[in-house]
Structure 1
Amino acid sequence: MIRAIAVTGLIIGLVALLVFGPRFLSSPEPGEVSGADQPRCDLLERDCQWEGEEGSWLVALEPLGEGDQGTEFQLTVNAPEAPNRFLAVLRGESMYMGEYPIPLKHQEGDIWTARFTAPFCTTGSEMEWRIDLQSAEEPVGGNPMKLTFWAR
């Protein structure tokens, strides 16, 4: 009986190693920054700006106050290109809580905005979120940093 349990555990361990091992053992390509090494830009401390292939990008986040579901935020993106289906995807950085796509609305010129409330974390009142800019499923802007903020 103990031998059967040991063999089953060994098989499960090998399958897990085959599935998850390459992800943890792979190293970034030369010149590529891994997610862990990517510098952070806290959007509540300052606006985040970088140069992409198409031009200069600027992202700003402003808390608007308490709403029915928590703190409301206004996200403003100055984008030199007009992507189709422009989204800001909200992802939990301090804890995985899923992905929340937020459609950005074109205002004028290169300005895109969205109002949203970060989902409530049931394990505590503080949660660090990351914002990724995408056109449908593809990342846009060539952002060299993580855009983050703390929802409290």
Structure 2
Amino acid sequence: MLRAAAVAGFILVLISAAVVGSLWLQGAYNEAPVADQPECDLLAGPCDWQTEAGHWQADLKILGDQGQGAEYQLSIRAPLAPERFLAVLRGESMYMGEYPVPLRQIEPGRYSAKFTAPLCTTGSRMVWRIDLQKGQQPMFKTPPLRLVFQAQDHRDG
């Protein structure tokens, strides 16, 4: 009888832990999903937004293609100067991992990085998203814009 009560108590504790853990995770990740944010196509022109800290701008240019995929230059104007400023490349139309790209300061408030987006079997139909981070943490609790671009691929002719 005591053994049955101990087993029932143990099962009750496990179920409670699962429910509490589930609620905690929902609360931790229940902020506005990135997909709900307005989209800005970086290759169509600069993306601008305002935060409490000031004016931000992101711009993306295609530098060329040396046969390994298009090389891009990302330029960011930012009112803040995080110590480790990263642009993290993530597949928007297909998950292909995360590719951190360190941004280097060109002058106060201006940052830049060159990168090549990984090639994908979907070619130029691949849409990438760029998320700004300070080290391992997102730059914004709720991103004001989804910074996206459609990959350019020399194989598409």
**TM tier, shorter chain?**
0.7 to 0.9
Distance 1:81 1:139 in 2: 13
Alpha-carbon distance in 2 for matches of 1:114, 1:124? 22
1:98 aligned residue: 97
* CA–CA distance in structure 2, aligned partners of residues 109 and 125 of structure 1: 34
The answer to whether the Cα contact below 8 Å between 2:92 and 2:129 also exists between their aligned partners in 1 is yes
What is the TM-score when the length of structure 2 is the normalising length? 0.73
Determine helix, strand or coil for the equivalent of 2:43.
Answer: coil
Residue 81 of structure 2: SS of its match in structure 1? Answer: coil
After TM superposition, the structure 1 stretch with the greater mean CA deviation from structure 2, 67-76 or 136-145, is: 136-145
Point out the structure with max Rg over C-alpha. 2
**1:26-105 equivalences in 2 (<5 Å):** 33-105=32-104
Bigger Cα displacement from structure 2, 47-56 vs 84-93: 47-56
The amino acid that maps onto 1:67 is Q
Aligned to 1:144: 144
Count of aligned pairs between the two proteins? 128
| Residue-by-residue CA offset, 1:5-35 (whole Å, 9 max, x unaligned) | xxxxxxxxxxxxx8xxx69xx6986xx6332
> Take 1:125 and 1:49, find their aligned partners in 2: how far apart are those partners?
25
Deviations 1:86-144 (A, max 9, x none): 00000000000000000001101210000000000034442100000001111115631
| TM-score, with length taken from structure 1 | 0.76
What are the ranges of 5 or more consecutive residues in structure 1 without an aligned counterpart?
A: 1-17
Partners of 2:56 and 2:122 in 1: how far apart?
34
Q: Which residue of 2 aligns with 1:134?
A: 133
Q: Distance in 2 between matches of 1:41 and 1:123?
A: 21
Identity rate, percent? 53
Contact 1:130 1:148 in 2 (8 A): yes
Higher helix residue share: 2
CA deviations over 1:30-72 (Å, ceiling 9, x no partner): xx63323211000001211111121110000001111242100
Letter in 2 for 1:65: G
In the alignment, the residues of structure 2 paired with residue 115 and residue 85 of structure 1 have an alpha-carbon distance, to the nearest angstrom, of 16
Query: In structure 2, how many angstroms separate the alpha carbons of the residues matched to 1:89 and 1:67?
Result: 23
Tell me the CA shift for residue 84 of structure 1.
1.2
Correspondence 1:108-127 to 2 at 5 A: 108-127=107-126
| Closer, same or farther: CA 43–123 of 1 in aligned 2, 3 Å | closer
Q: Is the 8 A contact 1:50 1:143 kept in 2?
A: no
